[in-house]
Structure 1
Amino acid sequence: MTELSYIKRETNPNPTATVIWLHGLGASGHDFEPVVPELGLPADAAVRFIFPHAPEMPVTVNGGLRMPAWYDIKAMDIDRVIDTEQLLQSAEAVSRLIEGELAQGIDSSRIVVAGFSQGGAVAYQVALSFAKPLAGLLGLSTYFATADTVEPSQANRELPIQVYHGVYDPIVPEALGQKSVAQFRELGYEPEYTTYPMDHSVCLEEIVAIGQFLRDRLKL
C-alpha cells in the first residue's frame, strides 16, 4: 500500500502529543475532524490530530462499488468475512504514520490510536502490535477482526483500551463490541466498555468521554 494521505490539525503550535483517528467504511479523514473542538481539551494543550484517508477499493458487500475502505468486507455475517491481508496492509500504513510522529519528536507514550467501525478494527491491530508503548487505544462502534491472529507487542501489554458502542447499532451489532472486550481480556488486557443509546454513530456524551480519556492518557 502506498503512503496514506491525511488531514492534520494541531490545537496549538509545537505539539507534544498525537492522536491518529481512523474513519469508517465509505467515509474520509474529514469525518471526525469537526470533533476536535468538542473534546473539551485544555486551551493550552498542544495536540496533533491526524485523520488518514483510506484508499478506494471495491467492497464486495456493497456490490463491488469502489469506495474508501481499509479492507474489503466479503460478507456481513455476525463475525464478518473480511480481507485480512488488506487489513494488515492498512495497519502497516498507519504504523508508518506513527513512526513519522516519532521522527518528529513525539514520544510513543504520547500517541493515542482511535478508530470507528472498520477503522477501529485496523486501530486494534496497529496498537496491540506496535513495538513501542503507546498512550492508549480507542475503539468506536467496532469489532476485533484480528483477535485470533494478532501478535501483541510486549511494549503494549499494559495498553489502556476504551471501547464505545451503541446499543441500537444495526451495522456493527453491540454483540460484536461485547465480543471484542471478551477477546481483549482473553489476551490479558483490561479494556473499559461503555455503551450509549445510539445507532452506528457517535454522540455528544461519547465525545465528552473521549476528551476525558485523552486528557487522562496524555496528561493534558
Structure 2
Amino acid sequence: MALAANYIRKSADIVGVAKNGKATASIIFLHGLGDTGHGWSSTIDEIRPPFMQFNCPTADTMPVTLNLGFQMPSWFDIRTLEVGGSEDEAGIKSAATKVHGMINNEIKAGIPAERIVLGGFSQGGALALYSALTYPEKLAGVIGLSCWLPLHSTFPDTKVCPDTLPVLLCHGDSDPIVSFKFGQLSHSLLKSFLKNTQLKTYRGLAHSASPQEISDMKAFIDQCIPHP
C-alpha cells in the first residue's frame, strides 16, 4: 500500500508531518500486540487536525508468553489477561521509558508537552496510560482503546502527572480479548486520583474500533488541543 505524501516511513515507524506544513501539536499512537505502526497510521491521519504531526511507532519483536512464546511486535511481555494476573513489571517500565523518550523528542522539536496527545489500542493503550501517568509534565490528553491500566496496584503512588490530565477510555462491552471489566476497573481507579477521566462504552463491539469510537477520538483530540 502506497503512503500519501504527508507520510514518512522511518524504519518500521510511520511518521506524519503537519498537513498545513507547520506542526504546533503532535500525537503518538501505540499499536496493539502483533501489529505495526502502519496498522493505525491511516486512521490517525484522518482524524488529526491539519496542524498536528503524528508518530505511529512499531514495537520491537519479542517472544510473548500469552501466545506460547511466539515472537511478534510487542511493547512488553503479556503473561495473562486475567484480572490480578502476573505482569511484566520490568518490561512495562522499560517500554514507558522509551515512550517518555518519544515525548521528549517531540518537545525538542518544538511541540509543548501540553499539545501532545498520547494514545494506543489494546496493549498499546495500556502502555499509553502507564506512560502518561508516569510522565512528570501534563500532556494534552491520553487515549486508551480496549485496554487496561498496567501495574494498577502501584497507583496512585506511581503517578507523577498532574491531576488534571484528561483521559479518554473507549471499550466495547463484548470484547472477548481484553474484557470490558478491565476498562471499568481501570476507569474506577483513574477517577479516584484524576479529575478528568471518561469511559465510553460501545454496545456489541468486540476487540476492535468502530466508526463512533473513531469519531469520539477526534472530538477528544479537538477538545484537548485548541486550534492555534
Q: TM-score, normalised by structure 2?
A: 0.88
3-state SS, counterpart of residue 73 of structure 1? coil
For 1:48, give the aligned amino acid.
Answer: Q
Alpha carbons 2:165, 2:194 under 8 Å: kept: no
Identify the match of residue 157 of structure 1 among 160, 163, 168. Answer: 163
Q: What's the Cα RMSD here?
A: 1.6
3-state SS, counterpart of residue 85 of structure 1? helix
1:138 deviates by 0.5
Identify the match of residue 35 of structure 2 among 27, 38, 48. Answer: 27
Identify the match of residue 175 of structure 2 among 161, 169, 172. Answer: 169
Give the aligned partner of residue 82 of structure 1.
87
Higher relative contact order (CA 8 A, sep 6+): 1
1:190 and 1:139 mapped to 2: Cα distance?
14
Give the aligned partner of residue 117 of structure 1.
122
Identify the match of residue 206 of structure 1 among 213, 222, 225. Answer: 213
3-state SS, counterpart of residue 196 of structure 2? coil
Matched, 1:184 2:225: no
Structure 2 runs not aligned, ≥5 long: 1-10
Alpha carbons 1:110, 1:218 under 8 Å: kept: yes
The Cα offsets for residues 140-168 of structure 1, whole Å up to 9 and x where unpaired, read as 00001122225212x52210111000011
For 2:150, give the aligned amino acid.
Answer: A
Give the aligned partner of residue 68 of structure 1.
73
Q: TM-score, normalised by structure 1?
A: 0.91
Give the aligned partner of residue 9 of structure 1.
16
Give the aligned partner of residue 101 of structure 2.
96
Alpha carbons 1:6, 1:51 under 8 Å: kept: yes
Structure 1 runs not aligned, ≥5 long: none
2:86 and 2:209 mapped to 1: Cα distance?
25
Runs of 4+ displaced beyond 6 Å: none
Matched, 1:219 2:216: no
For 2:39, give the aligned amino acid.
Answer: D
1:5 deviates by 5.6
Report percent identity of matched pairs.
34
1:27 and 1:189 mapped to 2: Cα distance?
32
2:147 and 2:193 mapped to 1: Cα distance?
18
